[in-house]
Structure 1
Amino acid sequence: MAILSYRMMMLLDTIAKRNPDGSARDLDQIIETAGYKVSKQAIQFSLRSMIEKGVIEKMDRELRRDRVRTLYRATEYGLKCYKPV
């Protein structure tokens, strides 16, 4: 199993829960619901690390709030590592 920090687990929790309508979350939505105050650069660093560990993956890009945004989802491996925070 991947070794994830407490904050990475919080991010995985946010990504795995998805939006209320069932759609995947984009970077800004992840930041809003992360559960702690953090810069965009720090979240991007954590997300890249989580992608390398195989617990999340980038999905397609989608037009949201007048911008094209990358969506993120938990992988099957990530869901196995997932422990609700």
Structure 2
Amino acid sequence: MVALPEYFTIDWNGIELNVQQRTMRGRKVFQISFPDNEKDLFIHRATIATGKKMWMSIPEGRQEQAIPIGEEIIKLYRRLEKQQNEQ
């Protein structure tokens, strides 16, 4: 299993976002910093009532950002995992 770096950047809609992994109340949380002074976004993967996992914002209300940004984090994780497996 590959570990994401504590700090990394992702591209979202042509914008470079800074991401930091944090732990809040025992959960892995990602703090997303925007370059335009927009308030930081905190997201985590939650298991909803149906058993499906989805990205959630903390506090709730910024799902329209949390879901696609979370998907970019997953893409990065899968790239790193693939690179590690190729070595």
Structure 1 length-normalised TM: 0.32
Larger radius of gyration: 2
Compare the two structures and name the one with the higher helix fraction: 1
Compare the two structures and name the one with the higher strand fraction: 2
